[in-house]
Amino acid sequence: MKKHLVVALAYDRLCTFEFGCVVELFALERPELGVDWYDFKVCAVEPGPIRAAGGITVQAPYEPGLLALADTIVIPGWRDADEPPPPALLDALRAARARGARLCSICSGVFVLAAAGLLDGLRATTHWRYTERLARRHPRVVVQPDDLYVDQGQVITSAGSAAGIDMLLHLVRRDYGARVGNLVAQRLVVAPHREGGQAQFLPRPMAHDEQGRLSRLMDWLRAHPAQPHSVKSMAERAAMSARTLQRQFQDATGMGPVEWLTRERIAIAKDLLEAADIPLAQVAERAGFGSEESLRHHFRRLAATSPGAYRRRFTATM
């Protein structure tokens, strides 16, 4: 049976970190997982030596014709968001989309997909530094400025650098299920999935003491999700006023404390749904939602699916 072929694009002035993430996820053999792992190849989109960030040179063994065979194509950034990609590359990506290949971008790689017209009418994201430029240059793209990655089925885009790892792990989970995705995340020493958006990573000033109190509060809330929490009770535990707590959370995460806590509870619910066949009522109770109805409401709002559908999707191959 033919293995799933993942092809990473290499180009002059290659984004080394983003490219390395793709190699780490797909190129390494992983016999311990007990699945038929990916076939991985690197395709040069242009002739000549390929220089990469950090002063290294990459020699890619395959030419653009390989894209016609790829099941998944990953664009690990792009050398300049203002530089149009080669027309031949755009044609190859359009052809790949037409025959059903999966197309993925990391960070500025979204501009390649957008230039090919493959994001028109779809939701997409990129690094927060580029979101306004993407929306202005490609008004038919529905830009999601706060998402770490956006899965539109056949086309998946991710935000800057490390968010590419989130997206790539998501692909593994889609292809092989939660068990394999979690094992790969363990090998990488990263979380299987991160909640929240890019706003939490934007540079914002915060006093050191306030930052410490907020961090301790977040850790405590994660450890006690099933307890009842309100803005008042959270503020009292952090020894600050409710107004200060609201401001601190907004500055640190881009959202208020209640929304942040809800997203953390959804992350816990996901882990419970993936780990075992726990009754939904127990999942709701242990994650802090209190009722199945509340869990379903927030799960559909934040995960765009139901708890039952999520469990079936990520446990099918376990």
pLDDT in tens, 39-94: 999 999 998 789 998 989 988 888 889 999 999 999 999 999 999 999 999 999 99
Query: Which of 131, 165, 188 is the last residue in one of the domains?
Result: 188
- pLDDT value for 296: 94
Work out the mean pLDDT of the chain and round it to a whole number.
Answer: 88
Task: Examine the domain organization and report whether 80 and 111 are in the same domain.
Answer: yes
Distance CA(78)–CA(85), nearest Å, equals 9
Q: Answer whether residue 147 shows pLDDT above 50.
A: yes
Distance CA(74)–CA(109), nearest Å, equals 9
Length of the chain: 318
Instruction: Look up residue 111 and give its DSSP letter.
Output: H
Instruction: Look up residue 11 and give its DSSP letter.
Output: -
Residue 195 lies in a domain: no
pLDDT tier at 192, thresholds 50, 70, 90: low
Domains in the chain: how many in total? Answer: 2
> CATH code at 288?
1.10.10.60
Q: Is 230 helix (H, G, I), strand (E, B) or coil?
A: coil
Query: Which of 159, 188, 217 is the last residue in one of the domains?
Result: 188
Q: Answer whether residue 304 shows pLDDT above 60.
A: yes
Q: Answer whether residue 116 shows pLDDT above 80.
A: yes
Give the mean model confidence (pLDDT) for residues 177-185. 84
What range does the domain containing 316 cover?
Answer: 203-318
Give the H or E element holding residue 203.
Answer: none
Least confident of 19-28, 97-106, 160-169: 160-169
Q: Answer whether residue 199 shows pLDDT above 60.
A: no
Task: Examine the domain organization and report whether 283 and 150 are in the same domain.
Answer: no
Task: Examine the domain organization and report whether 113 and 31 are in the same domain.
Answer: yes
Task: Examine the domain organization and report whether 150 and 207 are in the same domain.
Answer: no
Positive/negative CA dihedral, 185, 189, 195, 196: negative
Query: How many other β-carbons are positioned within 10 Å of the β-carbon of residue 124?
Result: 27
Task: Examine the domain organization and report whether 23 and 91 are in the same domain.
Answer: yes
Query: Which of 133, 154, 188 is the last residue in one of the domains?
Result: 188
- Residue closest to 169 by CA, chosen among 179, 181, 160, 152: 181
Task: Examine the domain organization and report whether 210 and 153 are in the same domain.
Answer: no
Bridge-partner residues for 72, per DSSP?
6, 102
Least confident of 2-6, 59-63, 297-301: 59-63
